[in-house]
Structure 1
Amino acid sequence: MALEAAELDATFHALSDPTRRAILARLAQEGDVTVMELAEPFAMSQPAISKHLKVLEKAGLVSRGRDAQRRPVHLEAQPLAEVTDWLLGYRQFWQAQFDRLDDVLDQLQALEKQAGKN
Protein backbone atom coordinates (compact mmCIF):
# COMPACT_ATOMS: atom_id res chain seq x y z
CA MET A 1 0.00 0.00 0.00
CA ALA A 2 1.41 3.37 -1.00
CA LEU A 3 1.95 5.70 1.89
CA GLU A 4 0.33 9.11 1.48
CA ALA A 5 2.63 12.09 2.01
CA ALA A 6 0.44 13.46 4.82
CA GLU A 7 0.52 10.13 6.66
CA LEU A 8 4.27 9.90 6.26
CA ASP A 9 4.68 13.48 7.51
CA ALA A 10 2.43 12.81 10.53
CA THR A 11 4.31 9.64 11.44
CA PHE A 12 7.75 11.22 11.18
CA HIS A 13 6.53 14.28 13.09
CA ALA A 14 5.23 12.03 15.85
CA LEU A 15 8.51 10.09 15.95
CA SER A 16 10.62 13.26 16.01
CA ASP A 17 10.09 13.79 19.73
CA PRO A 18 11.97 11.62 22.26
CA THR A 19 9.05 11.63 24.71
CA ARG A 20 6.69 10.29 22.06
CA ARG A 21 9.23 7.62 21.07
CA ALA A 22 9.53 6.65 24.75
CA ILE A 23 5.73 6.41 25.00
CA LEU A 24 5.63 4.08 21.99
CA ALA A 25 8.47 1.97 23.41
CA ARG A 26 6.67 1.66 26.72
CA LEU A 27 3.42 0.64 25.04
CA ALA A 28 5.31 -1.92 22.95
CA GLN A 29 6.89 -3.41 26.09
CA GLU A 30 4.06 -3.19 28.59
CA GLY A 31 0.93 -3.20 26.48
CA ASP A 32 -2.04 -0.93 27.10
CA VAL A 33 -1.71 1.58 29.95
CA THR A 34 -3.63 4.65 31.10
CA VAL A 35 -2.52 8.24 30.54
CA MET A 36 -1.70 8.56 34.23
CA GLU A 37 0.46 5.44 34.07
CA LEU A 38 2.21 6.81 30.99
CA ALA A 39 2.90 10.12 32.77
CA GLU A 40 4.57 8.49 35.81
CA PRO A 41 8.17 8.12 34.53
CA PHE A 42 8.24 11.55 32.87
CA ALA A 43 8.95 14.86 34.55
CA MET A 44 5.85 16.41 33.01
CA SER A 45 2.19 16.86 33.77
CA GLN A 46 -0.66 14.66 32.63
CA PRO A 47 -1.88 17.42 30.26
CA ALA A 48 1.57 17.52 28.64
CA ILE A 49 1.47 13.75 28.13
CA SER A 50 -2.04 14.13 26.69
CA LYS A 51 -0.69 16.60 24.12
CA HIS A 52 1.92 14.07 23.07
CA LEU A 53 -0.78 11.41 22.83
CA LYS A 54 -2.85 13.65 20.55
CA VAL A 55 0.09 13.88 18.15
CA LEU A 56 0.52 10.10 18.28
CA GLU A 57 -3.22 9.60 17.74
CA LYS A 58 -3.23 11.97 14.76
CA ALA A 59 -0.47 9.86 13.22
CA GLY A 60 -2.47 6.69 13.92
CA LEU A 61 0.26 5.34 16.21
CA VAL A 62 -1.96 5.01 19.29
CA SER A 63 -5.63 4.64 20.03
CA ARG A 64 -7.62 4.97 23.23
CA GLY A 65 -10.10 2.37 24.31
CA ARG A 66 -12.65 2.01 27.06
CA ASP A 67 -12.35 -0.52 29.84
CA ALA A 68 -14.96 0.31 32.50
CA GLN A 69 -13.61 3.49 34.12
CA ARG A 70 -10.22 3.23 32.44
CA ARG A 71 -9.28 4.62 29.04
CA PRO A 72 -6.19 2.59 28.15
CA VAL A 73 -3.83 3.78 25.44
CA HIS A 74 -3.06 1.14 22.82
CA LEU A 75 -0.12 0.97 20.39
CA GLU A 76 -1.16 0.86 16.73
CA ALA A 77 1.91 -0.48 14.93
CA GLN A 78 0.63 -0.41 11.33
CA PRO A 79 1.96 3.12 10.59
CA LEU A 80 5.40 1.97 11.76
CA ALA A 81 5.26 -0.99 9.39
CA GLU A 82 4.29 1.34 6.54
CA VAL A 83 7.20 3.69 7.29
CA THR A 84 9.52 0.68 7.46
CA ASP A 85 8.35 -0.41 4.02
CA TRP A 86 8.93 3.13 2.70
CA LEU A 87 12.44 3.19 4.18
CA LEU A 88 13.27 -0.24 2.73
CA GLY A 89 13.02 1.26 -0.74
CA TYR A 90 15.85 3.60 0.15
CA ARG A 91 17.82 0.77 1.71
CA GLN A 92 17.58 -1.09 -1.59
CA PHE A 93 18.76 2.06 -3.39
CA TRP A 94 21.79 2.39 -1.12
CA GLN A 95 22.57 -1.32 -1.32
CA ALA A 96 22.66 -1.02 -5.11
CA GLN A 97 25.02 1.95 -4.80
CA PHE A 98 27.33 0.01 -2.47
CA ASP A 99 27.27 -2.98 -4.83
CA ARG A 100 28.35 -0.68 -7.69
CA LEU A 101 31.13 0.72 -5.49
CA ASP A 102 32.28 -2.83 -4.68
CA ASP A 103 32.46 -3.54 -8.43
CA VAL A 104 34.58 -0.42 -9.00
CA LEU A 105 36.91 -1.34 -6.13
CA ASP A 106 37.26 -4.88 -7.50
CA GLN A 107 38.17 -3.45 -10.91
CA LEU A 108 40.74 -1.10 -9.35
CA GLN A 109 42.30 -3.94 -7.37
CA ALA A 110 42.48 -6.06 -10.52
CA LEU A 111 44.20 -3.19 -12.34
CA GLU A 112 46.68 -2.74 -9.47
CA LYS A 113 47.52 -6.45 -9.54
CA GLN A 114 47.94 -6.34 -13.26
CA ALA A 115 50.17 -3.24 -13.05
CA GLY A 116 52.26 -4.91 -10.34
CA LYS A 117 52.98 -7.89 -12.60
CA ASN A 118 54.34 -5.71 -15.36
Structure 2
Amino acid sequence: KAHRKKGQPQGKPAKGFGGTRAPEVEVLLRFSEAQLNEVLTLETIGNSLCFLLTDHLGLLSQSPAFPEVSALVLLHLRRYSKHCRSEPLRRQLKTLVEKAEVSADDIRARREQLAEAPSAK
Protein backbone atom coordinates (compact mmCIF):
# COMPACT_ATOMS: atom_id res chain seq x y z
CA LYS A 1 0.00 0.00 0.00
CA ALA A 2 1.07 3.57 -0.62
CA HIS A 3 1.12 4.53 3.05
CA ARG A 4 3.59 1.76 4.01
CA LYS A 5 7.31 2.15 3.55
CA LYS A 6 9.02 -0.34 1.27
CA GLY A 7 10.58 -3.14 3.23
CA GLN A 8 8.48 -2.39 6.32
CA PRO A 9 7.13 -5.58 7.89
CA GLN A 10 3.40 -5.93 7.54
CA GLY A 11 1.46 -5.30 10.73
CA LYS A 12 4.04 -2.91 12.19
CA PRO A 13 3.55 0.82 11.69
CA ALA A 14 6.28 2.81 10.01
CA LYS A 15 8.44 4.97 12.25
CA GLY A 16 7.01 8.41 12.79
CA PHE A 17 3.40 7.30 12.47
CA GLY A 18 3.10 5.92 16.01
CA GLY A 19 0.39 3.47 15.01
CA THR A 20 -2.20 6.17 14.41
CA ARG A 21 -4.73 5.86 11.65
CA ALA A 22 -5.79 8.52 9.20
CA PRO A 23 -8.81 10.39 10.52
CA GLU A 24 -12.15 9.73 8.89
CA VAL A 25 -13.34 12.85 7.14
CA GLU A 26 -16.85 13.70 8.28
CA VAL A 27 -18.63 16.95 8.93
CA LEU A 28 -20.80 17.15 12.00
CA LEU A 29 -23.00 20.13 12.66
CA ARG A 30 -24.29 20.66 16.16
CA PHE A 31 -27.01 23.11 17.04
CA SER A 32 -28.79 23.82 20.27
CA GLU A 33 -32.49 23.04 20.54
CA ALA A 34 -33.29 26.75 20.31
CA GLN A 35 -31.26 27.10 17.11
CA LEU A 36 -32.95 24.06 15.57
CA ASN A 37 -36.34 25.66 16.05
CA GLU A 38 -35.36 29.01 14.51
CA VAL A 39 -36.21 29.70 10.89
CA LEU A 40 -33.04 31.82 10.52
CA THR A 41 -30.88 28.74 11.17
CA LEU A 42 -32.87 26.77 8.61
CA GLU A 43 -32.52 29.55 6.03
CA THR A 44 -28.77 29.92 6.60
CA ILE A 45 -28.09 26.21 6.20
CA GLY A 46 -30.58 25.94 3.35
CA ASN A 47 -28.97 28.80 1.41
CA SER A 48 -25.55 27.17 1.71
CA LEU A 49 -26.90 23.80 0.62
CA CYS A 50 -28.81 25.34 -2.30
CA PHE A 51 -25.62 27.01 -3.47
CA LEU A 52 -23.73 23.70 -3.33
CA LEU A 53 -26.56 21.82 -5.06
CA THR A 54 -26.78 24.44 -7.79
CA ASP A 55 -23.04 24.19 -8.40
CA HIS A 56 -23.12 20.39 -8.39
CA LEU A 57 -26.13 20.12 -10.68
CA GLY A 58 -24.52 22.68 -12.98
CA LEU A 59 -21.49 20.43 -13.35
CA LEU A 60 -23.65 17.36 -13.86
CA SER A 61 -25.67 19.16 -16.52
CA GLN A 62 -22.64 18.96 -18.81
CA SER A 63 -23.26 15.22 -19.09
CA PRO A 64 -25.68 13.71 -21.63
CA ALA A 65 -26.96 11.52 -18.78
CA PHE A 66 -28.07 14.52 -16.70
CA PRO A 67 -31.83 13.85 -16.96
CA GLU A 68 -31.42 10.36 -15.55
CA VAL A 69 -28.77 11.31 -12.98
CA SER A 70 -30.75 14.26 -11.63
CA ALA A 71 -34.20 12.63 -11.55
CA LEU A 72 -33.93 11.23 -8.02
CA VAL A 73 -32.32 14.41 -6.66
CA LEU A 74 -35.12 16.53 -8.13
CA LEU A 75 -37.74 14.19 -6.70
CA HIS A 76 -36.37 14.72 -3.20
CA LEU A 77 -35.95 18.48 -3.69
CA ARG A 78 -39.61 18.76 -4.73
CA ARG A 79 -40.66 16.81 -1.66
CA TYR A 80 -38.53 18.95 0.68
CA SER A 81 -39.70 22.19 -0.88
CA LYS A 82 -43.34 21.29 -0.19
CA HIS A 83 -42.72 20.79 3.52
CA CYS A 84 -40.15 23.54 4.08
CA ARG A 85 -41.04 26.01 6.86
CA SER A 86 -39.11 28.88 5.28
CA GLU A 87 -40.84 30.65 2.39
CA PRO A 88 -37.62 32.13 0.88
CA LEU A 89 -35.94 28.73 1.01
CA ARG A 90 -39.02 27.09 -0.52
CA ARG A 91 -38.91 29.57 -3.42
CA GLN A 92 -35.18 28.97 -3.87
CA LEU A 93 -35.67 25.18 -3.99
CA LYS A 94 -38.57 25.56 -6.42
CA THR A 95 -36.43 27.74 -8.71
CA LEU A 96 -33.57 25.24 -8.55
CA VAL A 97 -35.91 22.37 -9.50
CA GLU A 98 -37.45 24.37 -12.36
CA LYS A 99 -34.05 25.33 -13.81
CA ALA A 100 -32.77 21.75 -13.53
CA GLU A 101 -35.90 20.46 -15.30
CA VAL A 102 -35.38 22.98 -18.12
CA SER A 103 -31.77 21.80 -18.45
CA ALA A 104 -32.89 18.16 -18.48
CA ASP A 105 -35.48 18.88 -21.19
CA ASP A 106 -32.85 20.71 -23.25
CA ILE A 107 -30.43 17.80 -22.97
CA ARG A 108 -33.15 15.30 -23.94
CA ALA A 109 -33.94 17.40 -27.03
CA ARG A 110 -30.26 17.52 -27.99
CA ARG A 111 -29.92 13.76 -27.58
CA GLU A 112 -32.93 13.15 -29.84
CA GLN A 113 -31.37 15.32 -32.56
CA LEU A 114 -28.22 13.20 -32.70
CA ALA A 115 -28.05 11.02 -35.81
CA GLU A 116 -25.58 8.60 -34.20
CA ALA A 117 -24.05 8.03 -30.80
CA PRO A 118 -21.00 10.18 -30.06
CA SER A 119 -17.62 8.47 -29.93
CA ALA A 120 -16.21 7.53 -26.54
CA LYS A 121 -13.08 9.65 -27.08
Comparing both chains, which one has the higher relative contact order based on Cα–Cα distances under 8 Å and sequence gaps of 6 or more?
1
The answer to whether the superposition gives a TM-score over 0.5 is: no
Give the structure with the larger helix fraction.
1
TM-score, normalised with respect to structure 1: 0.29
